[in-house]
Amino acid sequence: MVMLAQYQNKPINLSNKWNKSTNFTGIPVIDLSYPDDAKNLMVKACQDYGFFKVINHGVPLRLATELENETMRFFNMSQSEKDKYCSPSPFGYATNTIGPNGDVGWVEYLLFASNNIPTNSKTFSSLAKEYVEAVRKLGCEILELMADGLKIEPKNVLSRMLSDEKADTVFRLNHYPPCPNHPSTSYGWNPIGFGEHTDPQLISIARSNTTSGLQICLPDGTWVPVPPDHTSFFINVDDLLQVMTNGRFKSVRHRVIADRMKSRVSMIYFGGPPLMEKISPLGSVMEQGEESLYQEFTWFEYKACTYRTRLADDRLSFFHKGSHPLG
């Protein structure tokens, strides 16, 4: 039996701001209207940080804004009305609880399978479906640019997993209410909205309103804030993509800090492959004589691991070659 790390969502003291990383010059910004440049900049960003921002992405701002407004109409309902929605198992509405293993945060959320968004609002459902399809296409474009930048064939070796009708993709809407009276704020601390973690899928595509809070962890362990930009999308390298590139791309550890005075809402598309897709480093990525760092596993097996671990656990460590499977 593998012993899991113990983790608590301790508040964060922001009074001293963040340590400056000598090599960090800001979040990489990639303009998708210049694909020849974008593919190379994307590979570098994925290798250095596992994170970047895309502009000129083709998803209408109107669509994102209208969906955000509809989302806030839901979150602004009374708690008794919201509680009529079933607790996630894993899909539905929940507040404060994150996953089944004791993680908590200053957050409420809606979680849906991307191909099944049932709500009592036809307007919300219609907007969400249109938005998910637009972001899925964006994800496929980004994955194909990554493949091109890595010089691997075929071009759709990554994107085909999101295009597959059996793709296991998830859409999450997070709301971080203001927390002026949270006990920790009396001591200059900000409560954790969503604790540190990596995303288990291939790629995550996030968009938020203009309230800050998202932070990423740099390779040297420094946490840095991500300036909000409601007109752009932020792209995370997820665990499966780290495996398929044999560690060249880094799955980014990130967290959200709640704001004392302002509400934050984010919309995240998590792109996962079909459940029985076998995951291992791509032969076309690896150099002659290079050994795989990871055991082969299916997305179903890895997904099961996420349900048995804490939010901050290093799940990939259980699948390193030479490690023992989680049991």
Q: What is the pLDDT of residues 180-210, one digit of tens each?
A: 776 655 555 678 999 999 999 999 999 999 9
Least confident of 58-67, 120-129, 211-220: 120-129
Q: Where are the alpha helices (DSSP H) in 58-121?
A: 61-75, 79-82
Q: pLDDT digit string (tens) for 80-120?
A: 888 877 666 678 888 888 888 888 899 999 999 998 887 77
Average pLDDT over residues 288-309: 95
pLDDT value at 230 more than 60: yes
pLDDT value at 18 more than 60: no
Q: What is the pLDDT of residue 117?
A: 85
Q: What is the pLDDT of residue 2?
A: 28
Q: pLDDT digit string (tens) for 237-248?
A: 999 999 999 999
Average per-residue pLDDT for the chain: 89
Q: Is residue 264 among the annotated active site residues?
A: yes
| Nearest residue to 282 via CA among 146, 157, 159 | 157
- Rounded to an integer, what distance in angstroms lies between the CA atom of residue 176 and that of residue 301? 31
Q: What is the pLDDT of residue 161?
A: 97
pTM of the model: 0.91
Confidence class for position 8, pLDDT limits 50, 70, 90: very low
| Nearest residue to 143 via CA among 161, 128, 129 | 161
pLDDT value at 326 more than 80: no
- Rounded to an integer, what distance in angstroms lies between the CA atom of residue 251 and that of residue 272? 14
Q: What is the pLDDT of residue 323?
A: 62
Contact indicator for 175, 264 with CB cutoff of 8 Å: yes
pLDDT value at 299 more than 90: yes
Q: What is the pLDDT of residue 118?
A: 74
Name the region of 67 (left: φ>0; alpha: ψ -120 to 50; beta: rest): alpha
Average pLDDT over residues 216-236: 96
More confident residue, 121 or 45: 45
Q: What is the pLDDT of residue 17?
A: 43
Q: pLDDT digit string (tens) for 156-177?
A: 999 999 999 999 999 999 999 9
More confident residue, 92 or 278: 278
Q: What is the pLDDT of residue 236?
A: 98
Q: Which of 172, 207, 253, 264 is catalytic?
A: 264
What is the share, in percent, of the chain residues with pLDDT greater than 70? 87
- Rounded to an integer, what distance in angstroms lies between the CA atom of residue 214 and that of residue 206? 10
pLDDT value at 224 more than 70: yes
